[in-house]
Amino acid sequence: MVRHIVMWKMSDEAKANDFDGKVQLLREKFDDMIGKIDGLLEIELRKNYKPGNFDVSLLCTFDSREAEEAYQTNPIHVAVKQIIGQWAVERACVDYDV
C-alpha cells in the first residue's frame, strides 16, 4: 500500500471569499473519486484549524505505487487539480510505502 499526502497553502483571496465552501466543494470532489479510480482505497481532505504554513491537507491510500501513479493522470483527478490550482499558492507532497 502507498500513502499520498498533499498540503496546500491557499491564496489570501481564496481564503477571504467563502473558504469553507471551497473546502467543502473539494472534499466532495475527492470523496467522489472512491470507486471511480482503480486502486484508490481511502481519501480524506481536511482544512487546517490552526494558523500555519498550509491551509488544506489531503491523505490518500492506494493499493500500489502503480495505482498512485495512474491517479495522477486520471481525468477525474486532473479536473480537481485544475480547481485547486486556481486557489493554491504553494504545495507540498510526500508519498511512502505503508
pLDDT value, residue 57: 98
Q: Residues 20-31: pLDDT tens digits? A: 999 999 999 999
Instruction: Please name every residue paired with 57 in a beta bridge, in sequence order, or none if there are none.
Output: 7, 46
81 falls within a domain:
no
Q: Residues 2-58: pLDDT tens digits? A: 999 999 999 999 999 999 999 999 999 999 999 999 999 999 999 999 988 999 999
70 falls within a domain:
no
52 falls within a domain:
yes
| 12 CB-contact burial (10 Å; exposed 0-12 / middle 13-18 / buried 19+) | exposed
| Start-to-end C-alpha separation, the chain | 5
75 falls within a domain:
no
CATH of residue 33: 3.30.70.100
DSSP string, 18-81: THHHHHHHHHHHHHTTTTTSTTEEEEEEEE-SS-SS-SEEEEEEESSHHHHHHHHH-HHHHHHH
pTM of the entire predicted model: 0.94
Query: What grid cell was written down for 20?
Result: 469553507
Q: Which domain holds residue 43?
A: 1-6+16-63+87-98
Query: What grid cell was written down for 11?
Result: 491564496
